[in-house]
Amino acid sequence: MRLQGKVAFITGGSHGIGRGIAERLARDGADVAFNYGHDDAGAAATVAAIEAAGRKSAAIRADMLDLAAIREMLAEAERRLGTPGILVNNAGVEHKADFWNVTEADYDRVLSVNLKGLFFSTQAFVNQLRAAGRPGTVINISSVHEDLPFPGFSTYCASKGAVRMLTRDLAVELGPLGITVNAIAPGAIETPINTKLLNSPELLKALTDKIPLGRLGKPEDVAGLAAFLASPDAAYVTGATYFIDGGLTWSYHEQ
């Protein structure tokens, strides 16, 4: 098992891509701590999946909008499972609004969870590694929309574009500490963030028609890539963003 003896921390682990990654890293041998916002039932299901794989888990309720809570969640994970060596920055939100209608509250929420929360989770993780004198790896869950425009989602695009640059910048700054930093840029994945899409046959067909592989991705698809990036097989990979989108980004057709 390639993650035997490792501890992973995942932000936003109660559903979707976060839960998929938690299950997969546990099956690969890691103990897994995660935070979640309010979905107690979802968090319990993630704990059950980690424990079914025979690994230890720690579900920590912590609000990604609260800097003190972010620092405390990593401290609690360290007390319960030991110093995490893998951080998966997965927690993210999106809000659809025409640019001219975006409110300060929309802007603050999306940028605070997707960028500020990721920034300070990473800082807390890095400071734990520095104190322990250990190497580690950071995996940022970005989006194809770190690169690809998404009209109606300007706040989301701003946050994910920043994650792209932060991934590169921190790879350079943290490399000398033995810490690698990479990102995964998923396309359309079957998760609660896409509930509206999944409930509308027309919207779904319009999207899958644009995806060369003809389907949405599953959390397990993303989790396989995260498991690789968390593993020693990726020891020399840093500053990279991996797109996992069924071909969506480069799919352009004229009728």
Among 59, 144, 225, 226, binds ligand BGC (CB under 6 A): 144
The smaller minimum CB distance to ligand BGC, of residues 123 and 208, is found at 208
The smaller minimum CB distance to ligand BGC, of residues 34 and 243, is found at 243
Contact letters for ligand BGC, residues 160-199 (x by CB under 6 A): ---------------------------xx----xx--x--
Judged by CB under 6 A, the chain residues 67 through 126 that form the site for ligand BGC are: 94
- State the nearest-atom distance from the C-beta of 35 to ligand BGC, in Å: 20
> Does 31 sit near ligand BGC (CB under 6 A)?
no
The smaller minimum CB distance to ligand BGC, of residues 88 and 174, is found at 88
SS (H, E, C) the chain: CCCCCCEEEECCCCCHHHHHHHHHHHHCCCEEEEEECCCHHHHHHHHHHHHHCCCCEEEEECCCCCHHHHHHHHHHHHHHHCCCCEEEECCCCCCCECHHHCCHHHHHHHHHHHHHHHHHHHHHHHHHHHHHCCCEEEEEECCHHHCCCCCCEHHHHHHHHHHHHHHHHHHHHHHHHCEEEEEEEECCECCHHHHHHHCCHHHHHHHHCCCCCCCCECHHHHHHHHHHHHCHHHCCCCCCEEEECCCHHHCCCCC
The catalytic position among 36, 107, 156, 252 is: 156
The smaller minimum CB distance to ligand BGC, of residues 97 and 132, is found at 97
156 is annotated as an active-site residue:
yes
Total residues binding ligand BGC (CB under 6 A): 9
- State the nearest-atom distance from the C-beta of 116 to ligand BGC, in Å: 18
Residues with catalytic function: 156
Residues forming contacts to ligand BGC in the complex (CB under 6 A) are 94, 143-145, 187-188, 193-194, 197
